[in-house]
Amino acid sequence: MKNILLTGDINIGKSTIVNSVIDNSFARVKGFRTLPAFLENSDRVFKMHPLNCNIKIPENAYICGKNVHGENFPVIETFENYGVQILDDCLLDKPDIILMDELGVFEENAKEFQERVFRCFECASPVVGVIKLKESLFLDKIRSRSDVNVVEININNRIARKKWLMELISKNFMGSQNVHAS
């Protein structure tokens, strides 16, 4: 199975699709999810949560913060420390699937984390995840890889894409042949 990353507009259902399929599969999955978190002043930010990894991430390990203007800024240390640990654990353990939900622009200067992402794409365990629909050197490099299938999700295809991904993962981990996105 080739590495598969879903992309599309914000709130179209990319993470919902990936997480629903992963949570309902028989595959052994490791990796990370990016989930919202709230600072003491109620600002919404995001945290990286390990999935089935033996990595303990501190409560304050956010992937972004808010500046005085209310704009998000990346917290590179989280990617370089905990993100690298999560992906190293995946590379060492070789799960059926490596989950990366999601890859975005905050990682642009997290070079060690990026190196682990690329190593995961090259390992025997396929990566399934989400990639932001934004331009950056890091994201563009991922999208240009021949071993990555980027599948766009929109309002008209999200139900069909969810079914396709579920069938693909089921068949790959039940001994059948691959299903290809149309």
Q: For residues 50-71, b (16+ Cβ closer than 10 Å) or e, as one string?
A: bbebebebeeebbbbeeeeeee
- 40 in a structural domain: yes
- 125 in a structural domain: yes
Q: Which residue has the higher pLDDT, 177 or 145?
A: 145
Q: Are 24 and 148 in contact (CB under 8 A)?
A: no
Q: Are 120 and 127 in contact (CB under 8 A)?
A: yes
- 179 in a structural domain: no
- 100 in a structural domain: yes
Residue 122 CB partners (closer than 8 Å, separation 6+): 147
> What's the confidence (pLDDT) of residue 179?
41
pTM above 0.75, yes or no: yes
Q: Are 120 and 87 in contact (CB under 8 A)?
A: yes
- 18 in a structural domain: yes
Average pLDDT over residues 138-160: 97
- 90 in a structural domain: yes
Q: Which residue has the tokens 């990796």?
A: 31
Range of the domain at 129: 3-172
- Name the DSSP class of 136: -
Question: Is the model's pLDDT at 175 over the cut of 70?
Answer: no
How far is 79 from 48, CA to CA, in rounded Å? 8
- 19 in a structural domain: yes
- 32 in a structural domain: yes
Residue 105, sorted as left (phi over 0), alpha (psi -120 to 50) or beta, turns out to be alpha
- SS3 percent helix, strand, coil of the chain, rounded to 5, is 35, 25, 35
Fill in the amino acid letter for 157: N
Q: Average pLDDT, whole number, for the chain?
A: 91
**pLDDT digits 0-9 by tens, 49-108:** 999 988 888 888 899 999 889 899 999 999 999 999 999 999 999 999 999 999 999 999
CATH of the domain at 7: 3.40.50.300
Question: Is the model's pLDDT at 181 over the cut of 80?
Answer: no
Q: pLDDT tier at 174 (50, 70, 90 boundaries)?
A: low
**Structural domains counted in the chain:** 1
> What's the confidence (pLDDT) of residue 32?
96
Q: For residues 133-143, b (16+ Cβ closer than 10 Å) or e, as one string?
A: beeeebbeebe
Q: How many CB atoms lie within 10 A of CB 26?
A: 10
Residues in the chain: 182
